[in-house]
């Protein structure tokens, strides 16, 4: 049997179970199982199918065992902000609601009618976004949610998966830092804010740091996997961005290297020793997220390839071409120059993305895309332009300017977008690793065995 660390990586559209092992001193990755992650619309809300995802995770773990891997440990990472609530008996109080749900519309305005924005940012260091946990919980309070009233614990998505594997409830630092409810300097819950907003204080769990143990697999889980040895679940940087960033080498001798985690979301930023909580950082929409080894991922959350993914989904329903290797080269040969503001609210969850793009171009006096390749070019150029602005914003806050951008994640395979990013920013761009999230996840696990 081969000793292996297992990274379970849940993204907004799919999940993966990946085995990592060392061979001749090198980390090797073996993708064991890929599965779909669907958003389910029901009763006026959008949910994640947690039960199906948990079963898929167990299936992937069983497949790893069947393939001959002896599991040393398991690390789980997911997207940020979303959570599940459990009652005092450990029962899940409904499927977690997706951050794209509309229940948080208008919640920031309600919250900031009661608290001061500047003072709030000086503690949380978090970019205000409707989707953040703070506003999800306040929306539940406003609707007098029965689930919130009986909840015993709040578990973010990776915490929830970990809990049902181990029976131990805790909140991992990096994922908790996406909530807008943490004191980022002290790495503790901001109980003053929690109480001021009338949220139940008792549902927030102890915060564990990347590298700490989260518990051991329960006997019934071991039985399902067909193993008779103990396996620990490790608190990795369980926000997928933080795991991906941990895989990026920081080349200090060559100047500052920015990371660009490219996927459904684009996370553009730098690694710092301490949070940057200035008014300029707040105004420019920066967030300070927890990283590994006490570092801070200082970044902007940017709508990423979601726009193109949504277009592809619509085109699939219409029976049109959805091959990236066909549409992207065709896009490169078009002359369209229209760009959209990718962070405009109309692109968050439109009924039809193509119509939303057309309406934006019409309203701003730009050429309206007509062909598929023109829509693709519009999206990719718009992303590159947004990255240019992001780099400009970051440079205002750093003592030394950024010299290079390291693009990581699945989007790093989009060579045309990489090229546009280099052209628009005027910086060297290096692509990869594609599997940065899994690498960062597994690196933290490996460190716990040293």
Q: Which residues are CB-neighbours of 363 under 8 A, at least 6 positions away?
A: none
- What whole-number distance in Å separates Cα of residue 360 and Cα of residue 354? 10
Which of 20, 163, 17, 2 lies closest to 96 in space, CA to CA? 163
- Three-class HEC string of 324-359: HHHHHHHHHCCCCCCCCCCCCHHHCCCCCHHHHHHH
pLDDT of residue 264: 87
Helix extents (H) in 16-145: 50-66, 107-111, 117-124, 133-142
pTM of the entire predicted model: 0.89
Report how far apart, in Å, the C-alpha atoms of 139 and of each of 81, 103, 113 are: 14, 6, 15
Which of 137, 68, 444 lies closest to 292 in space, CA to CA? 444
Task: Tell me the β-bridge partners of 205.
Answer: none
Contact 191, 138 (CB under 8 A): no
Which of 213, 185, 234, 207 lies closest to 440 in space, CA to CA? 234
Using DSSP's 3-state secondary structure scheme, residue 372 falls into: helix
Q: What is the mean pLDDT of each run of 10 residues along the chain (450 residues)?
A: 96 93 94 95 95 98 98 98 98 96 95 96 95 97 96 98 98 98 97 97 97 97 98 97 87 74 92 96 96 95 94 97 97 96 93 97 98 98 98 95 93 96 97 93 95
Contact 241, 299 (CB under 8 A): yes
**Which residues does the annotation mark as catalytic?**
240
Torsion sign over Cα 80, 60, 50, 159 = negative
Could you tell me the end-to-end alpha-carbon distance of the chain, in angstroms, rounded to an integer?
A: 21
Give burial (CB, 10 Å; 0-12/13-18/19+) of 31. middle
- What whole-number distance in Å separates Cα of residue 244 and Cα of residue 409? 7
For 231, the token pair is: 């396996």
Contact 5, 444 (CB under 8 A): no
Contact 103, 45 (CB under 8 A): yes
- What whole-number distance in Å separates Cα of residue 303 and Cα of residue 238? 20
Report how far apart, in Å, the C-alpha atoms of 6 and of each of 30, 228, 404 are: 10, 17, 31
pLDDT of residue 349: 85
- What whole-number distance in Å separates Cα of residue 262 and Cα of residue 243? 13
Contact 291, 271 (CB under 8 A): yes
Give burial (CB, 10 Å; 0-12/13-18/19+) of 230. exposed
pLDDT in tens, 283-328: 999 999 999 998 999 999 999 999 999 999 999 999 999 999 999 9
Q: Which residues are CB-neighbours of 64 under 8 A, at least 6 positions away?
A: 4, 6, 17, 19, 32, 33, 71
- What whole-number distance in Å separates Cα of residue 221 and Cα of residue 166? 8
- What whole-number distance in Å separates Cα of residue 396 and Cα of residue 401? 8
pLDDT of residue 255: 64
- Strand 69-77 vs strand 232-234: parallel, antiparallel, or unpaired? parallel
- What whole-number distance in Å separates Cα of residue 201 and Cα of residue 187? 16
pLDDT of residue 444: 98
Q: Rounded to the nearest 5°, which phi and psi values hold at 164?
A: -80, -10
- What whole-number distance in Å separates Cα of residue 286 and Cα of residue 125? 8
Contact 157, 78 (CB under 8 A): yes
pLDDT of residue 73: 98
Report how far apart, in Å, the C-alpha atoms of 358 and of each of 22, 27, 135, 375 are: 50, 46, 30, 9
- What whole-number distance in Å separates Cα of residue 194 and Cα of residue 188? 12
pLDDT of residue 46: 95
Which H/E stretch holds residue 234? strand 232-234
């Amino acid at each position: 049997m081969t000793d292996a660390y297992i990274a379970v990586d849940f993204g907004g559209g799919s999940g993966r179970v990946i085995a990592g092992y060392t061979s001749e001193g090198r980390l090797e990755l073996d993708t064991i199982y890929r599965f779909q992650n669907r958003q389910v619309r029901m009763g006026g809300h959008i949910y994640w199918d947690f039960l199906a995802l948990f079963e898929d995770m167990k299936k992937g773990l069983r497949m790893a065992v069947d393939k001959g891997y002896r599991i040393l440990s398991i690390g789980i990472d997911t997207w940020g902000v979303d959570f599940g609530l459990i009652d005092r008996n450990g029962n899940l109080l409904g499927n977690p609601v997706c951050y794209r749900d509309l229940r948080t519309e208008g919640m920031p305005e309600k919250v900031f009618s009661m608290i001061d924005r500047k003072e709030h940012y000086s503690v949380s260091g978090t970019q205000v976004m409707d989707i953040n946990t703070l506003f999800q919980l306040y929306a539940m309070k406003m609707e007098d949610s029965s689930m919130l009233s009986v909840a015993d614990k709040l578990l973010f998505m990776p915490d929830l998966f970990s809990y049902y594997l181990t029976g131990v409830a805790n909140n991992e630092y990096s994922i908790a830092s996406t909530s807008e409810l943490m004191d980022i300097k002290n790495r503790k819950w901001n109980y003053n804010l929690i109480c001021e907003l009338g949220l139940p204080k008792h549902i927030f769990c102890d915060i564990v740091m990347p590298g700490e143990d989260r518990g051991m697999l329960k006997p019934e889980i071991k039985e399902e996997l067909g193993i008779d040895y103990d396996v620990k679940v490790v608190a990795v940087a369980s926000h997928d961005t933080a795991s991906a960033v941990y895989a990026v080498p920081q080349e200090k001798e060559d100047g500052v290297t920015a990371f660009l985690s490219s996927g459904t979301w684009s996370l553009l930023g730098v690694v710092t020793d301490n949070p940057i909580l200035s008014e300029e950082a707040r105004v420019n929409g920066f967030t300070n997220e927890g990283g590994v080894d006490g570092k801070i991922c200082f970044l902007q959350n940017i709508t990423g390839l979601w726009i193109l993914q949504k277009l592809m989904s619509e085109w699939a329903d219409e029976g049109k071409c959805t091959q990236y290797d066909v549409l992207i080269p065709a896009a490169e040969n078009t002359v369209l120059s229209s760009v959209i503001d990718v962070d405009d609210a109309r692109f968050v969850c439109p009924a039809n993305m193509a119509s939303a793009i057309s309406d934006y171009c019409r309203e701003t006096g730009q050429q309206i895309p007509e062909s598929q390749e023109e829509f693709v070019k519009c999206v990719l150029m718009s992303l590159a332009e947004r990255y240019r602005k992001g780099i400009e914003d970051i440079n205002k806050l750093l003592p030394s300017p950024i010299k290079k951008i390291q693009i990581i994640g699945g989007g790093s395979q989009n060579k045309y977008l990489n090229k546009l990013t280099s052209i628009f920013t005027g910086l060297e761009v290096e692509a990869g690793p594609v599997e940065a999230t899994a690498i960062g996840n597994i690196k933290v696990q490996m460190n716990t065995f040293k």
